[in-house]
Structure 1
């Protein structure tokens, strides 16, 4: 059975962020994920995880100046020192919260940037991030994100439909980067929602790369709502990853169409959504 983690930036936003741990646990989730924990003390978040017996699956490295449109630093030439400091901060938080993986988020590269400089910077930063995290027993992951859409209007901070101009956009590009870095601690993180928008071939891509995938995420297409809405046959994909013996987390990174609990009918078969 897939292990589902509630994304606390997207789900249960009927209540303040720190109350979402309890809400996720009451709904039956045993794991959570969230992109940016840095405005709260790591010890406070670790205490909530322990209190509600939740495992933290994933956080991101700091994304830079979000309000100015930045969405990560790994592929931005000239920001290497800031990226490295962010990796250390993410590692500290992940270790304190016993988080399994950190996403080394690539970022939106300014259009005037030389492509070869961006590529060289990205690979160098991935190598550094994978090494630093590996020394602490934390997996480093990279995620292709669709560059076709932007922020969710009226949505909470850190919730998006996509990231226009994002550097890493396709599975094959991510695989080439992982191979070029050559560190066993650098893994693939696939969001099925983004994959469907950019490349399709969901079942085939997951099957061919299952041993490289550390983390999966889901949402309906279009709309980024519940996985029961839209064109993707998620029950088929859930059965597939079971057959492939995928042991990682499946992050529920979707925007509920209405109230979070009311939209969890899709998860009832997996023991979620029943307080």
Structure 2
């Protein structure tokens, strides 16, 4: 019997666009165009259970360049490892950049010599990200944090980032998509791998605010074959380990130094926590 998976001209499996994907659902929720019927159908069910989901995803998306700017300005970091980068935000013709800004755009806005490695396990995200790189000091890598040691030893990371200088890791809306063992292993490996002066920026969905609605989201994702694991504040705090958090600590995402972010949805719609922890 021939068990070879048939692929399209894109190199993706034939049924790829018939199954919902988290990156495409998030793009739909934030007004992007890279999504398909399966994504929209699941998103509709998610929104019926949690009408605030669009705001939650928007808050997380806008937090990324905000955190990058803080890491670059306050800590002087010029190297970024963007884990679970997702699909690019929409292109703003007036600003001639993506809006919200991509990690590289935010980083070079502070340090022109910044370098970024984008990582995602979604083949569509990887293909589009690699296409958009151009001649910038960036690289794209398809990898999964569930194989964190293999990821951190990849050629693209070592050829783009200098391990003798501080590196900032972005783990935004990343850990809720893996189980407890994989989440803890990834955070432990990152803290052991990063050089002194480095930092990890994390956002993490939580069950603390509306546990019943979150349980419904978990169930809807599970029906689509997607693992979703929002956690309580104490569980998220334990993932941070012993590294020192920058002020204001671990707080709802929309409250993390929110003064400089314009047009942010209500903080009560975060349904997630954010923190930046630093390596001594």
TM bucket (normalised to shorter chain) is: 0.3 to 0.5
Which one has more relative contact order, counting CA pairs under 8 Å at least 6 apart? 1
TM-score, normalised by the number of residues in structure 2: 0.35
Q: Going by fraction, where is helix more abundant, 1 or 2?
A: 2
Q: TM-score, normalised by structure 1?
A: 0.36
